[in-house]
Amino acid sequence: MAEKVHCSRCLREASAIENGIFYTPELEAEVREKVCLDCWNEWQRAEVMVINELKLNFMDPRAMPVLIAQMREFFALDGRPEGATPAAGLSALPPDVDLATPDSSDESE
Ligand SMILES: [Zn+2]
């Protein structure tokens, strides 16, 4: 049966994803709920380019978070940078907050 989703990327009401390889169960649930089949198919192609361009090596545990971040951006899962449809959680933050939390290099154990 063809389910419909309201897609966070193309903003259409469109067919839901049927099959795919998702990286984590949490991501699968979120992507299935928010992304349409057409955009998913676009990601399948973009993913290959991202992996090649960033030279991601999945033997390296750091590669997966990078790919997931690219995917979240691709699907606008965290809202759009242009501010067209910011996610509710993000709009509460001051504009200059850096969500990436850079430079946590002094990790104490
Ligand atoms: Zn879409």
Q: DSSP characters for the chain?
A: ---EEE-TTT--EEEBP-S---SSHHHHHHHHHH-BHHHHHHHHHHHHHHHHHTT--TTSTTHHHHHHHHHHHHTTTT--TTSSS--HHHHTS-TT--TT---------
| pLDDT tens-digit map of 4-25 | 999 999 999 999 999 888 989 9
CA of 72 to the centre of ligand 1 (A): 13
The residue type of 40 is W
CA of 59 to the centre of ligand 1 (A): 31
Q: Kindly report the pTM of this predicted structure.
A: 0.70
- Identify the structural domains of the chain with CATH numbers, from first to last: 4-79 (1.10.3880.10)
| pLDDT tens-digit map of 36-68 | 999 999 999 999 999 999 999 999 999 999 999
Token pair, residue 83, equals 């501010």
